[in-house]
Structure 1
């Protein structure tokens, strides 16, 4: 059963200078399309990962899914309820209680003046629920001690703080947790611990994750489906086993080739070629064509549609004509 259904999601930001500056300098309005016509579904008890370079629109989608940003157009349905168009307040409140978010920076997302007990039970206490023993129980579930409830955030390491963030997210017994780069601020060894813990909690509590990351290797063993974003558009979607062995889009192959691998000691890693174009003035046709080694004239003139390809979907005129450098 589908829990989250994202349909034609678009978000445009007005980045124009103030009105008086535009009048004096005779400048037009400027708009930045952060997300453009993105659609995907997340079945219950699965993990859907969104990956891409900085500026690809990942976090903007996450904020729209949880209701922190309003879409310019498109819909986000959670449990069949569209939080943008739904008028029934009871239905909206019910759905919002099923959603939690884990942010990128565990140092900034915890109130430094609150004790851990108050931080964890806040989502439930705000609704008048019973919080007796809740913080102690959740701390033990995320691998910390129940005796830590009286401490402050500054008394914990980065990995421990992120575990507290996970405990807070679990407090309201959500169905969906949006994870916005939850391990990017942590050391690699701590990343693995937190990811393993989150995977175990997903199975134990029947959770659904929308996992946002810039690192394909982080989501490889977490995700059931991976969506690759480029300049606000979904360019490829596939299961991990397909994406990592036979990527259908050149951008996906570029990300995989740039990622570190345990089985390639001594391999020279080439960073992704080029830079993401200006999102205010994107290239015509396929936005990736200035960086693409397979680009043809059609790519510069016609934007490829996202179409079914194998077990997933891809938006590329030369889909499947890819060879990974590590496999060459």
Structure 2
């Protein structure tokens, strides 16, 4: 396998200051929020790379930068060796854009309620001036719906069926990479399993590459080839699922695995992990996780650990051993 996506030192900073006049009157400084900081990873062709972490960890921001919806403040995203924000050849940019699609989190908000399903599915083809006769019906059948559904409207479908329509639309332009931004979080658990199985089958059938964004490690456990764990915009651990679940090296990864509701030997629920995620505008010094970390030492509050290889994993922790 070869690397399809290369992310290097990716950083995104948002200006969340009050309007200029308010700042002058109230004598306030500018406020900057670092959503992603110095993230680097590779996504191999025909593989599934999962990004996991709590809300606000920067997962969706990375996804939007990879598909070209957000410009990085620093760093590079290369798809097949082409950086969408630095490339000047319009043909190369166009070819890369046609290779990328995105499946959004909310299937209720990501479909135009005024359009028939046929028009929704073939929209990527119409936008590029490509022939689209019969494509919608064929794709709807491939995602487990009926060809007759092409003449219906989104409100006539359940949440799981709407997400299948979103998947069909993503497949229409025959992409190489699909960024999936929590595609099952708005669905019931039984429907989640159906959609995940469908996506796994389609990956094998079409030779797709997925960037799978989720806040739930268990959702990606059996689907991902590699998992990257994000905390406050920084990649703190990266490993294959079997290594991550059997031997998590970063304390934050252990906390995520322990966060699922569990019972002790007497049927009582075990206490969930303590601590709140810090303010992303005023981050702690050193390792951002140290205020919540049960094994932190003085060095953790002074120095920020870099992502280093430890065996088969990469981990940003002084005490990973």
Contact 1:216-1:259 within 8 A present in 2 as well: no
Contact 1:8-1:74 within 8 A present in 2 as well: yes
For residues 14-60 of structure 1, the C-alpha deviation after alignment (integer angstroms, 9 at most, x for no partner) is 01111111111111111000000000000000000000000000000
The offset of 1:274, in angstroms, is 0.9
The offset of 1:266, in angstroms, is 4.2
**Aligned equivalents of 1:37, 1:287: Cα separation in 2:** 14
Q: Cα RMSD (Å) of the superposition?
A: 1.5
Structure 2 gap ranges (5+):
none
Describe the SS at the equivalent of 1:161.
helix
Contact 1:5-1:40 within 8 A present in 2 as well: yes
1:183 maps to what in 2?
184
Describe the SS at the equivalent of 1:316.
coil
The offset of 1:273, in angstroms, is 1.9
Contact 1:228-1:235 within 8 A present in 2 as well: yes
Contact 1:49-1:223 within 8 A present in 2 as well: yes
1:302 maps to what in 2?
303
- In the alignment, is residue 247 of structure 1 matched against residue 248 of structure 2? yes
- TM alignment of 1:65-76, pairs within 5 A: 65-76=66-77
The offset of 1:258, in angstroms, is 1.2
Describe the SS at the equivalent of 2:291.
helix
Describe the SS at the equivalent of 1:184.
coil
Contact 2:139-2:172 within 8 A present in 1 as well: yes
1:210 maps to what in 2?
211
**Aligned equivalents of 2:270, 2:141: Cα separation in 1:** 40
For residues 248-300 of structure 1, the C-alpha deviation after alignment (integer angstroms, 9 at most, x for no partner) is 00000000011257999946244332111011110001000000000000111
Q: TM-score, normalised by structure 1?
A: 0.95
Q: 1:265 and 1:7, CA in 2 relative to 1: closer, same or farther beyond 3 A?
A: farther
1:31 maps to what in 2?
32
**Aligned equivalents of 1:265, 1:103: Cα separation in 2:** 41
Structure 1 gap ranges (5+):
321-328
Q: 1:145 and 1:49, CA in 2 relative to 1: closer, same or farther beyond 3 A?
A: same
2:111 maps to what in 1?
110
1:122 maps to what in 2?
123
Q: 1:264 and 1:132, CA in 2 relative to 1: closer, same or farther beyond 3 A?
A: farther
The offset of 1:309, in angstroms, is 1.0
Q: 1:265 and 1:315, CA in 2 relative to 1: closer, same or farther beyond 3 A?
A: farther
**Aligned equivalents of 2:168, 2:120: Cα separation in 1:** 9
- In the alignment, is residue 312 of structure 1 matched against residue 308 of structure 2? no
Contact 1:257-1:270 within 8 A present in 2 as well: no
- In the alignment, is residue 280 of structure 1 matched against residue 281 of structure 2? yes
Paired residues in the alignment total 320
